[in-house]
Structure 1
Amino acid sequence: MISVIIPAYNCKNVIGDTIDSVLTQTRVDLIDEIIVINDGSTDGTGDFVRETYPNSLVSVLDKTNGGVSSARNEGIKRARNEWIALLDSDDVWLPTKIEKQWKQISINQQIKFIGCNRNKENLRYGTKIGENIYKLDLNHILIKMWPHTSTALIHKSVFETVGYFNENQKYAEDGELWNRIALHYPLYYVSESLEIAGDNKVTFGVSGLSANLKAMHEGNVSNIRILHSNNEIGRAFYIFLIVYYNIKYIRRICITKYGRFIKKYEKNINIYQ
């Protein structure tokens, strides 16, 4: 059975769609509990969830604000089931998300971590091991941190082996955990888009933690520095990744600024039409 963990901070206006997307899964019978970790919200998020979903699978755990990693860890530790599904409060699952992941788990008992594509992406990355299923190792996810956190379905034994989210790391904390997992387990994903992240916005430079491109970049660099210092990646690959991450960072800055320029230009044009 599955426990769904939803960290929540001041998300009263969007979390209803998130929870509804879990309750309307085609295999909702596999979901035993939905734990909303109310991370010190001041907008009434906790009360909204309690009032909207009484006597259901949904429970609310209130805690003082400690950040998303702290909230996720609290939920994972409280979960009573062997499978943990992570879902952020502004993301939604498509109806067959759990069904299609569970099908792959049933076929391959070795799977301890499985995600999927998101936002209509058609990613085919890593080693194909079957129809619509790919496997990733550490090298793969250091080139592209994948799958997205809100798609991840993880066996609880994985956390017992590698530990939990680093509560002292604010940016790229999911990537840091994925790296630790990849040292022990392959990461699998269904190559179908079964999640909508952030209302289909681009995944960097717009809002939330991902809007701080510099801090995200520094977090990613810190992650590979840890691996290198622990002799888990070689020096040549480490240097390659430093160069690659810097190029990616500059590219994202250009894309973000260019996009803002286009929007400003279109707005000015509309004024005179």
Structure 2
Amino acid sequence: MIGVQLFEMYRVSVIVPYYNNADTIHRCVRSIFEQEPDSKFQIVEVIVIDDGSSIPCPAFEDRSYSNTVLKLVRKPNGGAASARNYGLDRVDSPDFVAFLDADDAWYPEKTRLMIGEMLANNAAIAGSLSVSHTFYRSDPSQNTILVRFWDQLKTNRFLTSTTIIDVRGMEIDEIHFPEDQWYAEEGDVFLKILHGKKGILVNQVLIDYSSGKAAFGQAGASAKLWKMQAGEIRNYYRVCKRGHMSFCLLPPFLVYSFLKYIRRVLITQLKRENKRA
């Protein structure tokens, strides 16, 4: 069992998977240390996991900045899911776990605003908008957007680097990522958490996401549209096997997923044509 509150302030652990991100890792970690302080929580540790990089993660000069412990661990390459799980297995009794990829950076107010909204809304998971991900913004006067299980099942609302999870009372394997899946694997975790619970999106841009990389159609894993599609389908099957959705509902969700895939392909092709123009 994790997430037993031992101190007056909530304990936050941050997990950063690293793979050949030498140019951005210091910016990433610095953005964690520069989070605005708050009386409700303390970031107690940052765990950077070097996932068998050919460009090893550089050593950090300051390993005990403020009251936060910075840990650098190395493991054989196994993918982002494996790296995040490796970090999860080494957290020190947190109340909240946050994830940040090594090529992303948080805005200074991110943790303060998000944990405050999570506590106010009794949310098990929270995400935010990012520089290039404002597609869920609705009424700007809304502080948060409610996310339920069925909302998440239709479309992934969360970017992993924006995500904070309230792990109080949870078992560690409840937030383990499927290591046999390299694309859309985070969606399975979010669906497990949201079954019987609620999540929120903080209706603000609070992260610089890979210097503006789009959700699909550009560099990195998000450019592999078909593999992302296959990952989403696997998530649907896992949901059914857990008994969280009837297998009778699987066919319409597969059709819906395929239509989303066609749309992504068309948008990607249109972007490429516009670039050539």
Fold similarity call, TM over 0.5: yes
Quick check: 1:98 aligned with 2:111? yes
The Cα offsets for residues 87-113 of structure 1, whole Å up to 9 and x where unpaired, read as 1111111111011012223434x3332
Q: Secondary structure at the match of 2:89?
A: helix
Change (3 A) 1:232 1:112: closer
Displacement of 1:124 in angstroms is: 4.3
Match of 2:206 in 1: 194
Do the aligned partners of 2:213 and 2:219 also contact (CA within 8 Å) in 1?
no
Letter of the 2:19 partner, please give it. Answer: Y
Equivalent of residue 13 in structure 1, options 18, 23, 32: 23
Quick check: 1:123 aligned with 2:136? yes
The Cα offsets for residues 49-96 of structure 1, whole Å up to 9 and x where unpaired, read as x24434433220111111111110111121112211111111111111
Equivalent of residue 154 in structure 1, options 161, 165, 175: 165
Q: How many residues align?
A: 258
**Is there any run of 5+ residues in structure 2 with no aligned partner, and where?**
1-10
Match of 1:83 in 2: 96
Instruction: Please provide the CA RMSD for this pair.
Output: 2.2
Match of 2:82 in 1: 70
Displacement of 1:234 in angstroms is: 3.5
Equivalent of residue 24 in structure 1, options 22, 29, 34: 34
Letter of the 1:181 partner, please give it. Answer: I
Which protein shows a greater Rg?
Answer: 1
Do the aligned partners of 1:112 and 1:158 also contact (CA within 8 Å) in 2?
no
Match of 1:139 in 2: 150
Quick check: 1:210 aligned with 2:227? no
Equivalent of residue 40 in structure 1, options 47, 52, 60: 52
Which has a greater percent of helix? Answer: 1
The Cα offsets for residues 213-252 of structure 1, whole Å up to 9 and x where unpaired, read as 0010011012112323444224564222212111111111
Letter of the 1:23 partner, please give it. Answer: F
Identity of aligned residues (%): 29
Give the whole-Å Cα distance in 2 for the aligned partners of 1:260 and 1:141: 29
**Is there any run of 5+ residues in structure 1 with no aligned partner, and where?**
266-273
Q: Secondary structure at the match of 1:58?
A: strand
Match of 2:12 in 1: 2
Letter of the 2:128 partner, please give it. Answer: C
